[in-house]
Amino acid sequence: MSSDATKGDRIRELMATEGDAVAENTRGFNEGRIESTGRLDGYEELKADARDIKEDAIGRLPELIERVRESVEANGGTVYVADDAADANRYITELTAEECDADRLVKSKSMTSEEIEVNEALEAEGVEVVETDLGEWVLQLADEAPSHIVAPAIHKSREGISELFAERFDLDDPPETAEELTMFARERLGELVEDADVGMTGANFIAADSGTMLLVTSEGNARKSVTATDTHVAVAGVEKIVPTVEEFAPFVELIGRSGTGQDVTSYISTLTPPVDSPVPDFQADDEPLADGSGDDRDFHLVLIDNGRMAMREDEQLKETLYCIRCSACSNACGNFQSVGGHAFGGETYSGGIATGWEAGIEGLDTAAEFNDLCTGCSRCVPACPVDIDIPWINTVVRDRINRGEADPSQTDWMFEELVPDEEPAGLDLSTRIVGNYETLAKLGSLTAPVANRLTDAGPVRAIVERVAGIDRRRDLPEFASEPLVDWFEARGGAAVPRDEAAREAVLYPDTATNYVDVDRGKAAVRALEALDVHVRVPDLPGSGRPPLSQGMIATAESAAEDVYAGLAAHVDADRDVVVIEPSDLAMFRSEYEKFLPEASHERLAEASYDVMEYVFGLLENGGDPAALRAPAEGTGPVAAGKRVAYHPHCQGRTIGVSEHATAVMEALGYDVRVSDTECCGMAGSFGYKEDYYELSMDVGEPIREQFGDTDRTVVAAGTSCTEQIDALLGDAPMHPVELVAPRE
């Protein structure tokens, strides 16, 4: 690719060349994870145990490093703690090339060895390095980097591998089927392993009390690398240490299920090296192995710091060290499914967790190259077997990138005066515009419909695309001339008197509902009042979701404080807080934990409800379903028929509220078909950006495939989902509350 190619060009190239293979494999892994963990008793308890073990181990890491040193040395091995990649490679090359005088080293799969680029260091000293993992060997032959933490060649098709083998080995009749390709590789690699001098592995976990290593592989190649050679070098990050062998247990249950959907990974090996099996002599076929000796075996454990101890002291990045490298965050991610790790990744690591790893190991510049591909949709959060808050890590790094790149000389002073926020002067203009969407929405509403006509004009869209990076192919929101708050006040406030009401609730006027999609706000008021709720719609600030999505943490925190100040009196008065936009409810229940005092966050989180969750609760507690709108035959301006196609919001799924809409609709007699895909691809502002437009649409393609020719009424809970489905299907869906609310 030319040096002036944009990020969007690179994404489009990878979507065209690797996207189909990545999508097929990652979606298969993700479906397998859901099925496998669904069969596992006590899954959430196992996740909690795994997180506790990692949290404890990282907290005690200096102590555990010394303990593992004592254990390995007592077993007859050697431990070397390397400060960085150069230090590790110096030790390994001196051992291999000089002390062992090795001609060939065989390796099992190890992301840590990829991180330190040990292959290149060894080859520079004349040592041939052979990857024994099939995927890694394919990439070695192709001279390519891994695109996935667990399945490094996931972007390669079977046909592509066949062509590669034909080219590299000058084959007239290359293997074609998966079985033929595997057998060909096994035979070639078997010959190379037999003549190797040194074997190298990684380590999934290391027990400090005994020096025992847990190795999890799909092909058993780690065992071959260890037993076929007399010198074993294990390379592992210091974060791989846990106190005891007993603590391997939850990880054995979780790692395969999380990564590839396997109940148990093909090969699970526990080794306490140096192993005591005799070293085989492959040339003496008639000599029993038992006649050899294991006393000649040599073992070296190279523990890598390379920024990890600094990450341990960084409260925002520390959770990255809990990662067990399972790749669940990659497989669950809509963007990763479309482009893979060659776009959504850095020097070594890929997927959602890669931002934390690359920021801690390589630096912010590397993380900045792909950090925007995390949209904060939160699909990865329930997938992670150790409950790492991956979106928050990505947001923190985005904030640091923003502050590191701030240029006070940038000529955006006029915009700063227009929308003052808590961020440094010179913050990227596009970031600041998107992060201050609430201010733009207020201005748009005040000047509608003129603003709507202007923003739809071709010349204006061209300028917006050039200045703010908003793709001109996207329809921009049309602002309402009368915000929801003003409409509610003009109608005279609540229609259900307080002393006659079953409940009292504050309907939170989120930015999108208040200034753009006012009709869903009106529908929410009608639905709640039909169920005898005294409704209030106070004038409240935005939740801070747009600035948070841009990594503008200080501005988001300020918004959280303002929202809580506006809602505290209502919570004190035992009023329920009802939220229409799922991403705003996720702020209240999740992200506000980072911004508010613990007691304040808990009070607001416990008092807040998704609007359909609230309707469900009212019906469950005696509300009259007849007060709401049941299915009607034929079509109408608001709702149509009995059959519904429902796409839940990704963050609504994560916080566990999306199923309430399904339950309410079914209780009223609707036939509901729920979307199979977890993310529509729009993800707030992400789908508006010029570099990501095609990717956003590609992520949403499964929705088009499922609902594109449906005769069902399409409903979706989130603003972003509504906009994306409109673009995908050519018809804007309604919010579920619009479906069930009584007509005006």
Dihedral sign (CA 403, 405, 409, 414): negative
Residue 638: the pLDDT is 44
Residue 166 lies in a domain: yes
Q: Which of 214, 89, 199, 110 has the alpha carbon at shortest distance from 152?
A: 110
Residue 455: the pLDDT is 82
Higher confidence at residue 734 or residue 5?
734
Residue 635: the pLDDT is 41
Task: Report the C-alpha gap between 172 and 498 in whole angstroms.
Answer: 84
Rounded to an integer, the average pLDDT of 259-267 is 84
Tens-digit pLDDT profile for residues 26-42: 999 999 999 999 999 99
pLDDT at residue 394 greater than cutoff 60: yes
Query: In the chain, pLDDT over 70 holds for what percent of residues?
Result: 94
Counting the structural domains of the chain, the total is 2
Local confidence band at 283 (pLDDT 50, 70, 90 cut-offs): low
Residue 316: the pLDDT is 96
Burial of 497 (C-beta count, 10 Å sphere; 0-12/13-18/19+): exposed
Local confidence band at 223 (pLDDT 50, 70, 90 cut-offs): confident
End-of-domain residue from the set 288, 308, 328: 308
Residue 409 lies in a domain: no
Residue 429: the pLDDT is 80
Residue 376 lies in a domain: no
pTM (predicted TM-score): 0.93
Rounded to an integer, the average pLDDT of 316-342 is 96
pLDDT at residue 292 greater than cutoff 60: no
CATH classification at residue 12: 3.40.50.10420
Task: Report the C-alpha gap between 240 and 322 in whole angstroms.
Answer: 9
Per the structure block, which two tokens stand in for 517?
């999609």
End-of-domain residue from the set 281, 308, 335: 308
For 78-82, 215-219, 341-345, 526-530, which range has the lowest pLDDT when averaged over its residues? 215-219
List, in sequence order, every residue forming a beta bridge with 215; answer none if it has no partner.
Answer: 269
Residue 417 lies in a domain: no
Task: Report the C-alpha gap between 340 and 334 in whole angstroms.
Answer: 10
End-of-domain residue from the set 308, 339, 362: 308
Residues 6+ apart with CB under 8 A from 264: 252, 256
DSSP state of 173: S
Local confidence band at 634 (pLDDT 50, 70, 90 cut-offs): very low
Per the structure block, which two tokens stand in for 486?
């003003």
Task: Report the C-alpha gap between 724 and 702 in whole angstroms.
Answer: 12
For 194-208, 375-389, 398-412, 549-563, which range has the lowest pLDDT when averaged over its residues? 398-412
Task: Report the C-alpha gap between 430 and 410 in whole angstroms.
Answer: 12
Residue 520 lies in a domain: yes
List, in sequence order, every residue forming a beta bridge with 504; answer none if it has no partner.
Answer: 534
Rounded to an integer, the average pLDDT of 457-475 is 88
Question: Are the CB atoms for 304 and 235 separated by under 8 Å?
Answer: yes
Task: Report the C-alpha gap between 93 and 545 in whole angstroms.
Answer: 50
Boundaries of domain holding 285: 5-308
Burial of 117 (C-beta count, 10 Å sphere; 0-12/13-18/19+): middle
Higher confidence at residue 531 or residue 5?
531
Task: Report the C-alpha gap between 401 and 119 in whole angstroms.
Answer: 31
Rounded to an integer, the average pLDDT of 454-471 is 86
Residue 178: the pLDDT is 87
Residue 274: the pLDDT is 93
Tens-digit pLDDT profile for residues 715-730: 999 999 999 999 999 9
Task: Report the C-alpha gap between 647 and 677 in whole angstroms.
Answer: 8
Residues, the chain, total? 744
Local confidence band at 472 (pLDDT 50, 70, 90 cut-offs): very high
Q: Buried b / exposed e across 283-303, counting CB within 10 Å, b at 16+?
A: eeeeeeeeeeeeeebbbbbbb
Residue 284: the pLDDT is 62
Q: Which of 725, 652, 84 has the alpha carbon at shortest distance from 362?
A: 84
pLDDT at residue 294 greater than cutoff 60: no
Phi, psi of 693 (to 5 degrees): -60, -55
Residue 435 lies in a domain: no
Residue 422 lies in a domain: no
Element (H, E) at 205: strand 205-207
pLDDT at residue 641 greater than cutoff 90: no
Calculate the average pLDDT of the chain: 92
Burial of 415 (C-beta count, 10 Å sphere; 0-12/13-18/19+): middle
pLDDT at residue 253 greater than cutoff 90: yes
- Work out the number of other CB atoms within 10 angstroms of the CB of residue 540: 20
- Work out the number of other CB atoms within 10 angstroms of the CB of residue 407: 12
Dihedral sign (CA 301, 304, 310, 314): negative
Residue 730 lies in a domain: yes
pLDDT at residue 421 greater than cutoff 90: no
Residue 418: the pLDDT is 58
Give the Å distances, CA to CA, from 76 to 173, 230, 280: 49, 14, 20
Which amino acid, 32?
G
Tens-digit pLDDT profile for residues 92-102: 999 999 999 99
Per the structure block, which two tokens stand in for 201?
């592995």
